[in-house]
Structure 1
Amino acid sequence: MSIVDVKQLTVGAKLAEEVYTSLGGLLFTKGTALYEKELELLDVFMIDQVEIEDTEPEWPEPAEQQVAATAPIAANQSQSEKPAFQDTFDKATTSLRKLLQHVEGGSNIPVMDVREVISPLLEQFSEQPRVLLSLRGFSKADSYSYEHAVAVGMISYMIAKWMKIPEREWMQIALAGTLLDIGKTKIDRRILQKPGKLTDEEFEEIKRHTVYGYQLIRASHGLSEGVALAALQHHEREDGSGYPLGLSGAKLHLYSKITAVADVYHAMCSDRVYQKAKSPYVVAEQLMQDSFGKLDPQVVHTFIKGVTQFAVGTVVELSDGKLGKIVFTDSKHPTRPMIESGGTILNLVESRQLSIVKVIEN
């Protein structure tokens, strides 16, 4: 390999080592072929020299072929990942629905059965965490509550991993997310499924699902106190403005802080009766705002950093209607990446009037 000045690079040369920005963010991986777009990014980030492989460069294809070959990289990955993950996700949702219906009928929580349902999904999800940017594609309106339980469980699991919580707790945190709303099995379905506005009395009954859930989990074997407290406290907020007890941050269990972020993220990314799904990036920015008083800032920042680190190559729609591809995510501004659109690099940190309104699901 050779160290070469960027201005003297031959188009098509391949990197022999990874290239990082001055802030430590990964710009290009080893083996990346350097064409016009890559050379432009090296200039943008003021990188003067790179190490390249001592091989004959690959000459670029015609422009039309480059678009076809490079633009769908993320799409092809998603296509190979999504059907397999969708199948596992659907199976988990169907199985969980049956298990929770037994609880609704008066049975105890079948903890080991729930573990068996979510374990394959957690294993697969750990290998494909980029699906966090396209969870909307796995949702169906008629089974939202069960899909929400499965999704919150696996998101909570990933947050636990990213926060470097001891591995022995990961499954308990996943169960905490999955069983977060188990108390709703004790609430009249006519209230849960009411299409119009709830009365004050009905809303107070809905809020009691946190207490019902705590009681159900405490009565079950194989679930820790943290799982029970997550069910009780996941609607509490750092500033004491939540329910059912109005507790503030210092009094909230870590599991409740983690599951609260997972709960809000999936809910806002999903189509619901009274709310259309929002872009994961719009939701992430809302979470950042909520980290000032509502949600635990460490949990929020860890989650957003984790969910955006896989975004390079993802095709998105911007608020001005243009399509583009994420080419770089700055760890200091994870919700405002750099976008390649129409041959131009847009830095959303500088272009504050623009936002990512949709992640294109392929």
Structure 2
Amino acid sequence: MPICAIKHIPYGAKLGEDVHTSLGGLLFPKGTLVFEREMELLEAFLIKDVSVEEDAAKSDKKDEKAESREDKSAKGISQAVVGKKEFEQKFDKAVSSVKHLLHRVQGGENVPVMELREVVSPLLQKVQEQPNILLALSKVSNVDSYIYEHSIAVGMLAYVIAKWMKVPEKEWMQVSLAGTLLDIGKTKIDRKILVKPGKLTVEEFDEMKKHTVYGYQIIKSSPGLNEGVALAALQHHEREDGSGYPMGLKGSQLHLYSKIVAVADVYHAMCSERVYQKAVSPYVVVEQLMKDSYGKLDPKIVHTFVEGITQFSSGTVVELSDGSIAKIIFTDRNNPTRPMVEVNGKIINLADSRHLSIMKVI
């Protein structure tokens, strides 16, 4: 296939091969049509020439049958909006179902495992199809039903982390259930403590910490859940350096499920609006997770999660710290929380523009 210098690429040319950055990241896949935005990116990454399909090299006219970049963009945004609406409907339905199931457990029943699996399975399927949804989980959160929304979100996040960590596929659902049931012990905690808007007293916090032991006991007595699920409920507030609770265990003593659930729990909790805390940007949270990966959280799990949740974010619409609306166009693995974004046709590399940061996923 012809090799064409960037400055001589015909308008609407189709790339004949994948184009990679100097660091090895995929910038454009084979078959991408080159218009103004693509030209800007090629120049921004200092790429001198690319392979183009022969027909395109002979013509400098746009293929009339090809969709314009604007049409593609509008179509993509429209599909994303529809997908997000469908997901939110499934999520709301799941919240209602989980709330009902947990009320039954509160009344003394065992965990209805098969019913719970039926509730979370459609959401896990949706995440497989549309992983960008994970970045918008914090937007779904509602203060009044936070405990139920949090359990579902943690279950979804734990599921994808297990997948990215290459945990055997047969265990993915158990890991997801471990996340979904992490706070089931709170069904035995006084609601006044759970929804208290201010800081808990020492006595109240001691009572709150008991939810880990209560959760372990509930899950152990429920058939269909393995030991890892029970230990995740017991250990998800333990920390690598032994500073957590209820037993002050260190990393080597903790079950893998509990380590995965701990990362998912911290991430979603920090992203969410709660009675005593304002929501924080997912990207700010990810930066904090990376800092906490030494001493508090398992660094391998944190880094796997950060790489996974930032690499599929191209096309995500975000709000920057200066109030401008931007679209993520490329994420460098060396700076996963500071991608390249497009603002009103201008390309900004957040790794260089340190005065700007991503504050919100739209």
TM over 0.5: yes
Cα deviation code 1:24-77 (max 9, x no counterpart): 11111232221233222212222222121224556499xxx9785465465323
Other structure's SS at 1:195 match: coil
Give distance in 2, aligned partners of 1:300 and 1:102: 34
Which residue does 1:272 correspond to in 2? 274
**TM-score after normalising by structure 1:** 0.93
**Structure 1: gaps of 5 or more residues:** none
Give distance in 2, aligned partners of 1:262 and 1:127: 20
Which residue does 1:263 correspond to in 2? 265
Which residue does 1:164 correspond to in 2? 166
Give distance in 1, aligned partners of 2:63 and 2:298: 48
Which residue does 1:220 correspond to in 2? 222
Q: CA RMSD in A?
A: 2.0
Task: Give runs of aligned pairs for residues 41-52 of structure 1, distance below 5 A.
Answer: 41-52=41-52
Choose from 318, 321, 334 the match for 1:319.
321
Aligned length: 357
Give distance in 2, aligned partners of 1:296 and 1:326: 28
Give distance in 2, aligned partners of 1:310 and 1:35: 23
Give distance in 2, aligned partners of 1:170 and 1:79: 28
Other structure's SS at 1:340 match: strand
Cα deviation code 1:63-113 (max 9, x no counterpart): xx9785465465323212112211221111111111000111111111121
Other structure's SS at 2:200 match: coil
8 Å contact from structure 2 (residues 330, 340) kept in 1: yes
Give distance in 2, aligned partners of 1:236 and 1:134: 27
**TM-score after normalising by structure 2:** 0.93
Deviation, structure 1 residue 16: 2.4
**Structure 2: gaps of 5 or more residues:** none
Task: Give runs of aligned pairs for residues 265-304 of structure 1, distance below 5 A.
Answer: 265-304=267-306
Worse-superposed segment, 281-290 or 174-183: 281-290
Letter in 1 for 2:117: R
Which residue does 1:175 correspond to in 2? 177
Give distance in 2, aligned partners of 1:110 and 1:163: 28
Letter in 2 for 1:21: T
8 Å contact from structure 1 (residues 156, 262) kept in 2: yes
Other structure's SS at 2:50 match: strand
Give distance in 2, aligned partners of 1:318 and 1:245: 41
8 Å contact from structure 2 (residues 35, 69) kept in 1: no
Give distance in 1, aligned partners of 2:60 and 2:326: 27
Give distance in 1, aligned partners of 2:151 and 2:87: 16
Give distance in 1, aligned partners of 2:361 and 2:60: 33
8 Å contact from structure 1 (residues 270, 278) kept in 2: yes
Give distance in 2, aligned partners of 1:324 and 1:60: 28
Between the two proteins, what is the percent identity of the paired residues? 64
8 Å contact from structure 1 (residues 288, 301) kept in 2: yes
Letter in 1 for 2:156: M
Label 1:351 to 1:322 Cα distance change in 2 as closer, same or farther (>3 A).
same
